[in-house]
Amino acid sequence: MSTKGNGSSKCRIGLFICHCGTNISKMVDVVGLAEEFKKHPDVVVSKEYKFMCSEPGQELIIKEIKENNLDRVVVAACSPLMHEPTFRTAVERGGMNRYFFEMVNIREQVSWVTTDYQAATNKARMLIRGALARVKLHEPLEMRRISITRRVMIVGGGIAGIEAALQIADAGYEVILVEKEESIGGHMAKFDKTFPTLDCAACILTPKMVSVGKHPNIRLMTFAEVEDVSGYIGNFKIKVRKKARFVDPAVCNSCGTCYEACPSQPYPLDRALILGGKVFKEGRRLKPKRPPSLGPEHDLTVLTGAQPMPEQKRKPEGAK
């Protein structure tokens, strides 16, 4: 049995094409392709079967591996997301390394999305040829257990990052939320209404922002950016640069005195700091001109039928 997997030595490949009932065979010439690939120089066995994922279909693969001393297996069937683990297990039961297996999706990517019988058959043919070439390059791998860091870093403190952080933290995992701006909230913090219900954006976002700041499993790193990522899944090493605030957040009580005396420009430039009715700082950016009205056919409230109802004036008691 070949285990080099470098493509230099001749491999003994078994090709198995699935009908998937009529899901594949109604648009792909499964029988014709199985006969055609028997002439391929690296294919020792080429067979078709109604349901390759069934127990008889798996037994067929195991039987051919043992009888023909196969060292590679290609299955043309449905999505690998659905049955790749099934066929890898069958290959392993046949005495091969589970990673000497390649799967071709000729259902979702061919028969279900093609209306021309000949075009679908040609596409399936090309995909199978590619799989036969690729499986020769496979190398034997071994599964092993390693310890992982049960901690999650989320980059970006917009509404998506906030929601992800809260859900993961509620599940009991430590979360580090990194945001490049001074505050979380992202673009949603600048919105007035949200589509399509026209709900108040701040009413949705603000409670979640408060929950992030108070959650015991969330470490919030604002005004910071990821500089370097190394390692691998489950054990990443990430370097984060925190920008200088010139304020100690542990002792700051938001009195605004330092902001009033600071010579720097506000950021964003269209933001103003108002405390006790007094404007301490405001940006110099000119407000953009309001674009001309495009008419009711472009009005979101008209299109959605979500126009606010007029307030009814309360009549004094005794009035008719």
Extended strands (E) in 61-209: 72-77, 101-105, 151-155, 174-178, 193-194, 199-200
Instruction: Note the pLDDT tens digit of each residue in 19-37.
Output: 999 999 999 999 999 999 9
What does the alpha-carbon distance between residue 240 and residue 148 come to, in Å, rounded to a whole number? Answer: 20
Give the pLDDT score at 298.
62
pTM for this prediction: 0.57
User: Are the C-beta atoms of 57 and 49 separated by less than 8 Å?
Assistant: yes
Given a cut of 80, whether residue 319 has pLDDT beyond it is no
pLDDT band, very low/low/confident/very high, at 104 (cuts 50, 70, 90): very high
Give the pLDDT score at 301.
60
61-78 burial code (b ≥16 CB/10 A, e <16): bbebbeeeebbbbbbbbb
Instruction: Note the pLDDT tens digit of each residue in 218-235.
Output: 999 999 999 999 999 889
Instruction: Note the pLDDT tens digit of each residue in 146-163.
Output: 888 899 999 999 999 999
User: Are the C-beta atoms of 123 and 172 separated by less than 8 Å?
Assistant: no
Given a cut of 70, whether residue 247 has pLDDT beyond it is yes
User: Are the C-beta atoms of 65 and 91 separated by less than 8 Å?
Assistant: yes
pLDDT band, very low/low/confident/very high, at 245 (cuts 50, 70, 90): confident
Give the pLDDT score at 6.
43
Cα–Cα distances in Å, from 220 out to 25, 96, 184, 213?
54, 48, 9, 7
| Domain annotation for the chain: domains and CATH numbers | 13-135 (3.40.50), 151-245 (3.50.50.60), 254-286 (no CATH)
Given a cut of 70, whether residue 206 has pLDDT beyond it is yes
Instruction: Note the pLDDT tens digit of each residue in 249-271.
Output: 788 887 777 766 776 655 555 56
What does the alpha-carbon distance between residue 292 and residue 228 come to, in Å, rounded to a whole number? Answer: 46
